[in-house]
Chains A and B, each alone.
Chain A
Amino acid sequence: MTDFPSSAKAVVVGAGIVGNSLVHHLARLGWRDLVLLDKGALPNPGGSTGHASNFIFPVDHSKEMTALTRDSTNQYIELGVHTVSGGIEVARLPERLEEFNRRITSSVSWGEPSELLTPAQVKELVPYINDEIILGAFYTPSVGCVDSLRAGTLMREAATALGALTVSASTEVTGIDVENGRVRRVHTDKGPIETEYVFVCCGVWSPRIARMAGAAIPLTPAVHQMISVGPIPLFEETPGEIFFPIVRDVDTNMYERQNGSDMEVGSYAHRSILIDPDEIPSIEESALSPTELPFTSEDFDVQLEQALELMPEILTVEGAGIRHAINGLLSLTPDGMPILGETPEVKNLWSVAAVWIKEGPGIARAVAEWVVEGASEIDVHGADIARFHPGQREQRHVDARASEGFNKTYGIVHPSEQWESNRNVRVSPFHPREQELGAVFFETAGWERPWWYESNGKLLEEYGDRVMPREAEWESRWWSPIVNAEHLAMRDRVAMIDLTAFHILDVAGPGAVEALQQIALAEIDVEPGRVIYTPILDHHGGFKADLTIMRLEPELFRIVTGAAHGMADRKWFSDRLPQDGSAQLTDVTEDWCTVGVWGPRARDLVASVTSDDVSHAGFPFARCREVELGGVRALASRISYVGELGWEIYAPMADGAALWDVLWEAGRPHGVVPAGIGVYGTTGRIEKGYRAYGAELESEYNVAEAGMTRPKVKEHDFVGKEPYLRHRGEEPAAIMSTLTVDDPTSSSGVKRYMLGREPVLTPAGERIVDRKGRPSYVTSAGSGPSVGKHVLMAYLPPEHAVEGKQLLVQYMGERYPVTVAVAGSTPLFDPENTRVRS
């Protein structure tokens, strides 16, 4: 091997579907001097791609996964390696039929045609199915199978043809050098390669490779069992690899798919079998391949019986036997999402891991755009490797959540469903008090946050039907009418809300102003004591974050952002601080607890425990300063995400319990209630039309569309300024609007309440798609107890974003009339913002 490269622009490690797709897209976007390595031989180096089932079901409840899958499918079709077979998900249980209605909702939202079938219709498409044990089915005609190995070969060839790529198979990476926090070179058994970038596309081996550079990729290899039964005479008569639709027997966590003359049966039902990445055998040690471990038949026994129930005729046909059976390895992550992006630990070391065949080429394209252009067309923030807080990167957490998530692969997962394993990792100092008050905790980024308090049950009587009780089980799940009661009590009196999960970052130093000016859209150079609310944009002018920044001192800023995106925001800021060290970022999340005190009586409450002037004149809106509250020194910031008078109050963790007690005792005469995040995140927010990052604000929409442009654009340059100026100047393709449900009563007389992500339709029932091709769907949904309506938010094209306009929203198989209440950012509740500014 005399031509082994000694240097490269980028080394891509792993020639599975991800690595192959990535070199293709990097080359297409103009990168050269790429080197693709794999320790195995081509075209199948022995990773998970080699034994993948290779089928693609396009419909997912997640918008970005559906988009990535669609993009991948289009790429496979273009490569000529996609065969359409159709795909049928069958229901054995009644609750699955309801889930299929929900899947239809998603299929309409994302524009992937699907339909419901009766058992008899299934039988027509799949003549060998036992239609007596199924209740109905969800059919997606566009489901297909791909040849992922062939696709990989073609993509390598495309990159090679551009003169951009050197491929070196049977080459093992033995080390990665990092200098000054940046990758420098990759060591291999064929020699070292100096390189600017390294992409870890190593599937189940990714943790092992990243660790060589001192970075963590929190995934675990896990077993997915699969058997192949054949030969089946019916299949031998059909041409090609697949003729009959793929069947997903979702209630038993299984699929059955024709593969040539065989029927492949795959299972996600068996016990979770996790493998340590260091325990994966080498290629030479493996009987089949390193990711095809010996089949453990006892784990599959139950599925055998279930498969026989569903397809008795062909699986017992004379001469057919189990010709192949493996414990195949795939990658599982703690939250079920892929792991993409530059690692927080090492510059230019990128992870492209935990990616399945169905989304591989699409993800590769998104990552290539991200690294080459600074942002991807499809928003992939949900898969950003920077999302994990340290506790989520611990093996214990990865294993617990991977195990819990495995059997949910085909599960009916409620959008608010909580994890059961590895809880109580991060608790606020208020936690014991909250437990006493009967808090029901939901988890965000490891933090236990009260969603509502059972002790507020007494408020239900007080508010009666104003709490908008829910009749359907699905919408009552992970919800309580107490949320709405707490909301009303807050609007009437005053509430205390635990916000300790906030992610808090201090940026300090002589270069702090300049650095933050570069990052934030809003003017940063304000007087100390000011609170700045600002969007953070990416290079395309899409939303990267939205957060508040307090200028505490001339050279000290405190950034407060949400728990879920805090780690990613931290990376975004620290990546953009000056090289000379003139501004330093410190994560002080663990140092401060936070409680929000909001409501018409908030000032009375706070004033009763402090000698500081908290009058409107003495402590105006959007100001912050240190105050002493009953002996506790705290930082108070007069802002609100729920549309009420009040403060966010920050105190050192150690003083948290004392702070709570001071406020609680002072609040009693004012009728204070503890309120949960159900109020803070949904009801209080949505009545005010406040946008949330990850729901309304994401990289695919811009500031103008979100209705958040400011009258003036600051002089200083900032990330995304140029597209921001452009977006201000053009007519928005969509306008963020607030809608109210006119009548939530279903045809069977049950009140139904949307939970989010449902399609918004024209009065004629047509999908609404803006001129950029983006569908209108519900970005947030929730009760508006103070306005007495179920409230929805959605981006609508200008012709529909007209106040008073009647539209429809599809939900659970029915369409409900809705009205555009607000087009733009005016709040539905208290449109003049008198409460906040009183």
Chain B
Amino acid sequence: MILCLVEPGELSLEALAFAQRLGPVHAFSVDAGEAYAPGAWAAAIVQLVEQHSPDAVVAAASDRCQEAMAHAAARLDLPLAANCVSAESGDPWRVVRQRWGGSLLEEATLSGPVKLLTVAQHVVQAAAPVAVEPFAPALSEADLAVRVVRREEPPPGTVSLTDARVVVGGGRGVGSAEGFGLLEELAALLGGAVGGSRVVTNLGWRAHSDQVGQTGARIAPDLYIACGISGAVQHIVGCKGAKKILAINKDPHAPMLARSDYAVVGDLHEVVAAVIAELRR
């Protein structure tokens, strides 16, 4: 039997599908009050393992599940295979897990009386929702010693390059310091920040602190919009942490485009102005 820790969201459905391939699944969620406490989640896993003696416990490689599974692994002194893309039962189990953010795979064996695995994001199709047992673990004071004491929404105002969910970057194609006005406008609409390539900061169009690149900031936003940036390696190093890249460039052969997920070929001033207009509609 496979225990599967479930929290709201798509990732747990993927983990569920992964678990279902390994055997009959008992899905559970943790019922331990409003304030999240990793220790409480770990207690739930440990107690369910004791109750059910499952072959394995599976959870998504989300921040919370990953954390809870690691806590449980430490409590049980069991190995934990994080970010698995496949698993095969046997003695020991054979798992394939991601390394280097998925750039590399590791084939490994996983031993121990109960196998603990987290499932890499977006490698298996999500399962249909199933019945989930809300499990309320017996909790000690220690389990709750570390818990969320309050929650904050992000303060309004300036967004820093490294924190921004969206970064709008400008390169030589922006043409002038004034040309960045348009990029500022787009960034403001998206609640993002503005950065520049090394050329731009060297030309004095932007402050040196705005440089995205090897010798400037290394950013990891959800979206990086690269406007008029050719895509020097120096710059790529700074922005490759972005989850998605949209490149706007008049040169269809600019290397930035090859490094991007989305591309628009055209004059960046015209394109950005049109996007701003469309966002304001």
Given a CB threshold of 8 Å, the question of whether A touches B is answered with yes
Which A residues are CB-close (under 8 A) to B208?
A: 230-231, 236, 260-261
Contact indicator B202/A289 (Cβ below 8 Å): no
A262 within 8 A of B: yes
19 more contacts with CB within 8 A, not counting A44-B232, A259-B202, A289-B233, are A41-B231, A42-B230, A42-B253, A43-B232, A44-B230, A44-B255, A46-B233, A228-B215, A231-B208, A236-B208, A240-B204, A260-B201, A260-B202, A262-B215, A288-B233, A292-B233, A323-B214, A324-B214, A324-B215
Which A residues are CB-close (under 8 A) to B231?
A: 41
Also in contact, A41 and B204, with CB within 8 A (given A46-B233, A260-B198, A324-B214):
no
Contact with B along A230-243 (1 / 0, CB 8 A): 11000010011100
Which A residues are CB-close (under 8 A) to B254?
A: 41-42
List the B residue with the shortest CB-CB distance to A45.
B255
Q: How far is the CA of A41 from the CA of B257 in the complex (A)?
A: 11
- Return 16 A-B CB contacts under 8 Å, by A number: A41-B231, A43-B232, A44-B232, A50-B233, A170-B258, A228-B215, A230-B215, A231-B208, A231-B209, A240-B202, A240-B203, A240-B204, A260-B208, A288-B234, A288-B237, A323-B214
CB proximity of B46 to chain A, nearest CB, Å: 42
CB proximity of B3 to chain A, nearest CB, Å: 41
Which A residues are CB-close (under 8 A) to B214?
A: 288, 323-324
A657 within 8 A of B: no
List the B residue with the shortest CB-CB distance to A262.
B215
Which B residues are CB-close (under 8 A) to A126?
A: none
Contact indicator B203/A241 (Cβ below 8 Å): yes
- Residues 752-792 of A at the B interface (beta carbon under 8 Å): none
Instruction: Identify the interface centre among A228, A261, A289, A324: most chain B CB within 10 Å of its CB.
Output: A261
Q: How far is the CA of A324 from the CA of B214 in the complex (A)?
A: 7
Contact indicator A239/B204 (Cβ below 8 Å): yes
CB proximity of A496 to chain B, nearest CB, Å: 62
A169 within 8 A of B: yes
Contact with A along B216-252 (1 / 0, CB 8 A): 0000000000000011111001000000000000000
Contact with B along A216-259 (1 / 0, CB 8 A): 00000000000010110000100111000000000000000001
List the A residue with the shortest CB-CB distance to B209.
A231
Closest CB pairs A-B (n = 3) = A41-B255, A260-B202, A323-B215
Indicate the size class of the contact surface on chain B. 10 to 19
Which A residues are CB-close (under 8 A) to B209?
A: 231
Number of A positions contacting B (CB below 8 A): 24
Q: How far is the CA of A561 from the CA of B90 in the complex (A)?
A: 81
Contact with A along B182-220 (1 / 0, CB 8 A): 000000000000000010011110001100001100000
Q: How far is the CA of A50 from the CA of B204 in the complex (A)?
A: 21
Which B residues are CB-close (under 8 A) to A44?
A: 230, 232-233, 255
Also in contact, A241 and B215, with CB within 8 A (given A44-B233, A288-B237):
no
CB proximity of A226 to chain B, nearest CB, Å: 12
Q: How far is the CA of A289 from the CA of B233 in the complex (A)?
A: 7
CB proximity of A122 to chain B, nearest CB, Å: 25
Q: How far is the CA of A288 from the CA of B254 in the complex (A)?
A: 18
Which B residues are CB-close (under 8 A) to A169?
A: 253
Also in contact, A43 and B233, with CB within 8 A (given A228-B215, A240-B204, A324-B214):
no
Which B residues are CB-close (under 8 A) to A170?
A: 258
CB proximity of B59 to chain A, nearest CB, Å: 34
Which B residues are CB-close (under 8 A) to A42?
A: 230, 253-255
Which B residues are CB-close (under 8 A) to A50?
A: 232-233
List the A residue with the shortest CB-CB distance to B230.
A43
Which A residues are CB-close (under 8 A) to B253?
A: 41-42, 169
- Footprint of A on B, CB under 8 Å? 198, 201-204, 208-209, 214-215, 230-234, 237, 253-255, 258
CB proximity of B7 to chain A, nearest CB, Å: 37
Q: How far is the CA of A41 from the CA of B232 in the complex (A)?
A: 9
List the B residue with the shortest CB-CB distance to A323.
B215
List the B residue with the shortest CB-CB distance to A167.
B253
Q: How far is the CA of A288 from the CA of B201 in the complex (A)?
A: 20
Which B residues are CB-close (under 8 A) to A324?
A: 214-215
Q: How far is the CA of A231 from the CA of B202 in the complex (A)?
A: 12
List the B residue with the shortest CB-CB distance to A283.
B233
CB proximity of A600 to chain B, nearest CB, Å: 71
CB proximity of B249 to chain A, nearest CB, Å: 12
List the B residue with the shortest CB-CB distance to A238.
B204
Which A residues are CB-close (under 8 A) to B232?
A: 43-44, 50
List the A residue with the shortest CB-CB distance to B208.
A261
Which A residues are CB-close (under 8 A) to B204?
A: 239-240
List the A residue with the shortest CB-CB distance to B207.
A236
Contact indicator B202/A241 (Cβ below 8 Å): yes
Contact with B along A532-570 (1 / 0, CB 8 A): 000000000000000000000000000000000000000
List the B residue with the shortest CB-CB distance to A147.
B199
CB proximity of A189 to chain B, nearest CB, Å: 15
Which B residues are CB-close (under 8 A) to A259?
A: 202
Q: How far is the CA of A574 from the CA of B281 in the complex (A)?
A: 76
CB proximity of B175 to chain A, nearest CB, Å: 14
Contact with B along A180-224 (1 / 0, CB 8 A): 000000000000000000000000000000000000000000000
List the B residue with the shortest CB-CB distance to A259.
B202
CB proximity of A466 to chain B, nearest CB, Å: 63
Which B residues are CB-close (under 8 A) to A288?
A: 214, 233-234, 237
Q: How far is the CA of A170 from the CA of B258 in the complex (A)?
A: 11
Q: How far is the CA of A441 from the CA of B204 in the complex (A)?
A: 57
CB proximity of A599 to chain B, nearest CB, Å: 67
List the B residue with the shortest CB-CB distance to A241.
B202
Which A residues are CB-close (under 8 A) to B215?
A: 228, 230, 262, 323-324
CB proximity of B271 to chain A, nearest CB, Å: 21
List the B residue with the shortest CB-CB distance to A41.
B255
CB proximity of B218 to chain A, nearest CB, Å: 11
List the B residue with the shortest CB-CB distance to A230.
B215
Q: How far is the CA of A228 from the CA of B211 in the complex (A)?
A: 15
CB proximity of B30 to chain A, nearest CB, Å: 42
CB proximity of A209 to chain B, nearest CB, Å: 22
Contact with B along A15-48 (1 / 0, CB 8 A): 0000000000000000000000000011110100
Q: How far is the CA of A251 from the CA of B59 in the complex (A)?
A: 63
Q: How far is the CA of A829 from the CA of B258 in the complex (A)?
A: 72
Instruction: Identify the interface centre among B202, B215, B230, B233: most chain A CB within 10 Å of its CB.
Output: B233
Contact with B along A249-290 (1 / 0, CB 8 A): 000000000011110000000000000000000000000110
Q: How far is the CA of A292 from the CA of B203 in the complex (A)?
A: 24
List the B residue with the shortest CB-CB distance to A46.
B233
CB proximity of A786 to chain B, nearest CB, Å: 62
Q: How far is the CA of A626 from the CA of B230 in the complex (A)?
A: 71
CB proximity of A85 to chain B, nearest CB, Å: 13
Which A residues are CB-close (under 8 A) to B202?
A: 240-241, 259-260
Contact indicator B237/A41 (Cβ below 8 Å): no
Q: How far is the CA of A739 from the CA of B176 in the complex (A)?
A: 59
Which B residues are CB-close (under 8 A) to A261?
A: 201, 208
Q: How far is the CA of A261 from the CA of B198 in the complex (A)?
A: 10
CB proximity of A114 to chain B, nearest CB, Å: 28
Q: How far is the CA of A428 from the CA of B202 in the complex (A)?
A: 59
Q: How far is the CA of A324 from the CA of B213 in the complex (A)?
A: 11
Q: How far is the CA of A35 from the CA of B28 in the complex (A)?
A: 64
List the A residue with the shortest CB-CB distance to B216.
A323
Contact indicator A41/B258 (Cβ below 8 Å): yes
Which A residues are CB-close (under 8 A) to B237?
A: 288
Which B residues are CB-close (under 8 A) to A289?
A: 233
Instruction: Identify the interface centre among B198, B204, B215, B258: most chain A CB within 10 Å of its CB.
Output: B215
